[in-house]
Amino acid sequence: MANDASTAAVQEHLVRYGGDFAEVLIDKASGSYVYDRSGRAILDFTSGQMSGILGHSHPEIVAAVAQAAGRLDHLHSSFLSPPVLELGARLAALLPPTLSKTLPLSTGAESNEAALRLAKLYTGGFEVIAFDRAWHGMTGGAAANTYSGGRKGYGPAMPGVLTIPTPYAYRSPFATNGHYDWQAELDWALDTIDRQSVGALAAAIIEPLVSSGGIITLPDGYVAALKKKCAERGMLLIIDEAQTGLGRTGTNFAFERDGVAPDILTLSKTLGAGLPLAATVTSAEIEQRCYDRGYMFYTTHVADPLPAAVGNKVLEILVRDRLADRAREMGEYLKQGLVSLQQRHEAIGDVRGRGLLLGIELVEDRHRKEPARDFGMAVGKRCLELGACLNIVSRRTHAHIFRIAPPLNVSRGEIDTALGILDTALTECAGRA
């Protein structure tokens, strides 16, 4: 941590929940920057926990929080309020007609739990398919369908969890001589599912861009092909847009690129622009059948008015400021900068992603593609020392992969600064190797 007192406080009072803490203590944040206790500015190119699409302490969000807190903050779950009704209407206006019914919640894991319960009650099945690099949360059903970390040592997962290969073009065995046959991989995957299933398939849950699993972009046509296979088996398709929703990938929702809508959509992170707000959105037909069958998903903060008011302001700014278009424009600029770095640094094996959710994969050798985990850890640490947080996906499993996701209102100058810091860190760390 930043000093001996901070280290002592961690040792004495805090549970370490995901490896070691960063060696810096953050005191405040504003815009694209966080600041340590000495006032040193650090570019936050992780948008907090991949959530703050408007940057830190956006003045309109601050005002919305203050106004809501002074008027209506929390209610019993049986009560509704104007901000909640408005949130449902705003989301429906942005989404396809088949996604018209919203359940407001607090976290991404909650929204995925709610979605899984809807799918199971609607279909009568209990088997769920997820990517083998997925991250959907750390609660029961969500954790059971999370494979990019956190599985070992906790006993049996929920019954009925099944996996298919993440369409990882850079490393897939179905990619040869520069050609990736994702359709053959998907066909093979569903054949194996059919052999494993006990005849109770309920849903597939996927991220349209697999973020925590390594910034893996699904091929064009993949989502449509998967939805067809789900329909053939009487399954629902759940798309988890915790990190990709609300403009991040260059469209309001990442699934729009593929021209097909999910049966259930889950949102979190970006919906509250860093504050705790999530939503599970589905069709009127699915909601009605589940209601008739006694659907229940109570939480203490379901449909709370204060976070709903924040979500309304986020959606207003998203549309008003055309943030999806801005993410597409700034994302292309950032990606070009990363490709330029790749041309100068042999350690960058791959550059990928969409909009302002991008990644680089560091390798020991471009031909063998051996992950450069120790090098990745060193580069990430040096970037932080130089004044930029360029997130490493996982210290334990994906230390060689960086998730780069600045706020959607990031400036070109801030992108240039981050690229310069990454360039310096790559050069210095390579020199020490």
For 319, the token pair is 């549309």
Please indicate whether residue 21 or residue 285 has the higher confidence score (pLDDT): 285
In the prediction, which pLDDT does 431 show? 87
For 187, the token pair is 């066909």
* 209-210 and 216-217 beta bridge pairing: antiparallel
Residue type, 252: N
Q: What does the pLDDT look like over 321-343, one tens digit per residue?
A: 999 999 999 999 999 999 999 99
Q: Are the C-beta atoms of residues 415 and 330 closer than 8 Å to each other? A: yes
Residue 2, helix vs strand vs coil? coil
Identify which of 316, 321, 246 has the alpha carbon closest to the alpha carbon of residue 89: 316
pLDDT at residue 2 above 60?
no
Q: Where does 61-320 sit in CATH, by number? A: 3.40.640.10
Domain ranges for the chain, please list them. 61-320, 323-371
| For the chain, percent of residues with pLDDT exceeding 70 | 97
What's the mean per-residue pLDDT of the chain? 95
In the prediction, which pLDDT does 432 show? 84
pLDDT at residue 351 above 90?
yes
Run of H or E including 221? none
pLDDT at residue 364 above 70?
yes
Range in 12-26, 190-204, 229-243, 254-268 with the lowest mean pLDDT: 12-26
Band (16; pLDDT cuts 50, 70, 90): confident
In the prediction, which pLDDT does 9 show? 82
Rg (CA), the chain: 21
Band (392; pLDDT cuts 50, 70, 90): low
In the prediction, which pLDDT does 178 show? 84
In the prediction, which pLDDT does 3 show? 58
Q: What does the pLDDT look like over 219-254, one tens digit per residue?
A: 999 999 999 999 999 999 999 999 999 999 999 999
In the prediction, which pLDDT does 398 show? 77
Please indicate whether residue 86 or residue 148 has the higher confidence score (pLDDT): 86
* 348-354 and 357-362 beta bridge pairing: antiparallel
Give the bridge partners for 34, in sequence order.
29, 42
pLDDT at residue 54 above 70?
yes
Which residues are designated catalytic?
Answer: 135, 207, 240, 243, 269, 403
Q: What is the DSSP string of 146-181?
A: --SS--TTS-PPPTTEEEE----TTT-TTEETTEE-
In the prediction, which pLDDT does 254 show? 98
Give the mean pLDDT of 266-271.
98
Q: What does the pLDDT look like over 117-157, one tens digit per residue?
A: 999 999 999 999 999 999 999 999 999 999 998 899 999 99
Cα separation, 11 vs 141, whole angstroms: 31
* Residue whose token pair is 């760390």: 429
In the prediction, which pLDDT does 197 show? 97
In the prediction, which pLDDT does 22 show? 81
Which sign, positive or negative, has the C-alpha torsion 242, 243, 244, 245? positive
**Inter-residue long-range contacts of 11-16, CB under 8 Å, 24+ positions, other chains counted:** none
Burial 171-208 (b: 16+ CB within 10 A, else e): ebebbeeeebebeebbeebbeebeeebeeebbbbbbbb
pLDDT at residue 397 above 70?
no
Would you mind telling me the total number of residues written for the chain in this entry?
433
Write down the pTM of the prediction. Answer: 0.96
